[in-house]
Amino acid sequence: MATYAIGDIQGCFASFMRLLERCRFDPAVDRLWLVGDLVNRGPRSLETLRFVKELGDSAIAVLGNHDLSLLLAAEGFGRRGKGDTFDDVLQTPDRDELLSWLRHRRLCHVENAHCLVHAGLLPQWTATDAQALAGEVESALAAPDWREFMARLWGSEPAGWSDGLSGWPRLRVIVNAMTRLRFCTPDGVMEFHAKGGVDSAPPGCVPWFETPARRSAGTTLVTGHWSALGLKILPNLLALDSGCVWGGPLTAVRLEDRAIFQVACADKPSRAG
C-alpha cells in the first residue's frame, strides 16, 4: 500500500488522470491525499469532483479556498471571481449531491507524522491543535444552520489567533489560516495580499513555515495553495502546488519514501471570465 499526496488539481482532470497513471495508483490498495482546491480555474471541475467522490475511502481531500468559493457561490454568498470556471458543477443535475459531499470534507487531517492542510498553520498551533480546531469548522459546515456559517465566512478579520476568540470570528480565523495563509508576522498575524514567492514577503512578514516558534514544526505538513512557491520539499514540509492550472506540472509525492512523480500540464486553460 502506498499513499500519494497530490498538489492542487483545480479542475485539471486530464493532468490528474495522467499523474495517477504515472504513480500506478491502485484504489484497491493505495490512498490519495489531496491538498484541496479540487476545482476552479481549470477546465473540468465537474469531472474532478465526481471522480474523487467515487474513490470513497481511497481518497482524503481537505478543503481549499477555491472549494469554499464554489460552496459560497452555490448559496449566493461572497464575490464571484472573474476567472471562476465551476459553472459546470453549479449547472449539473447532480449538483446538490456533489456540493453536499464537498461540504463534508475535512479542513485538516493528521495521521502518524503528517498533517494534511491546504495552506498552512499559524505558529501557535500544533498539528493536534489544528485538527481539533478544524473539527470546529467541520461541525459548523455539517450543522443544520450551515448556511448561516457560510454567510459569515467571507472576510479577512480577525487577522490573528487568540485562544479567547469565539463564534464566527474564531471560525473565520481557522478557515483563513488553513485555506489562505502564505505570509504572516512571526507571531502569526496573517497577510493576504502578497501572492509571489518567498522573496515577496511584505515588511515584517515571513513565509508561514519559517516562523521561528512554529509549534507544528515537529510534524511534516503536506500543503498546496502557493503556486508561486512551487514544489518545496523540506524535512517537515511537502508543499505540492507546482502550478498545473497555470501551465506547470502536477505533482505527487509518495509519503512512504518521498518519491516524486510529475506530469506536464495536459489541460487547455479555460477562457472563462
Q: What percent of the chain has pLDDT over 70?
A: 98
Higher pLDDT, 268 or 267: 267
CB 64 within 8 A of CB 37: yes
Q: Which pLDDT score, from 0 to 100, does residue 80 have?
A: 78
Lowest mean pLDDT among 6-15, 32-41, 158-167, 261-270: 261-270
The CA–CA distances, whole Å, from 227 to 32, 125, 175, 239 equal: 20, 24, 19, 9
Q: Which residue, 57, 146, 156, 34, is CA-closest to 99? A: 146
Cα–Cα distance, 159 to 145 (Å, whole number): 25
Is the pLDDT at 271 greater than 90? The verdict is no
Give the pLDDT band of residue 261 (cuts 50, 70, 90): very high
Cα–Cα distance, 190 to 177 (Å, whole number): 8
Strands 3-6 and 237-239: unpaired
Q: Which pLDDT score, from 0 to 100, does residue 270 have?
A: 54
Structural domains in the chain plus CATH codes: 3-263 (3.60.21.10)
Q: Which pLDDT score, from 0 to 100, does residue 64 have?
A: 98
pTM value is 0.96
Look over the chain and give the mean of its residue pLDDT values, rounded to a whole number. 95
The residue-averaged pLDDT of 247-263 equals: 98
Q: Which pLDDT score, from 0 to 100, does residue 35 have?
A: 98
Is the pLDDT at 81 greater than 70? The verdict is yes
Is the pLDDT at 30 greater than 50? The verdict is yes
Q: Which pLDDT score, from 0 to 100, does residue 203 have?
A: 96
Q: Which pLDDT score, from 0 to 100, does residue 204 have?
A: 96
The CA–CA distances, whole Å, from 233 to 65, 98, 123, 196, 211 equal: 22, 33, 19, 18, 17
The residue-averaged pLDDT of 244-256 equals: 97
For the chain, how long is the longest CA-to-CA vector? 49
Q: Which pLDDT score, from 0 to 100, does residue 202 have?
A: 96
Cα–Cα distance, 96 to 74 (Å, whole number): 9
Is the pLDDT at 272 greater than 60? The verdict is no
pLDDT per residue as tens digits for the range 88-137: 999 999 999 999 999 999 999 999 999 999 999 999 999 999 999 999 99
Q: Which pLDDT score, from 0 to 100, does residue 122 have?
A: 98
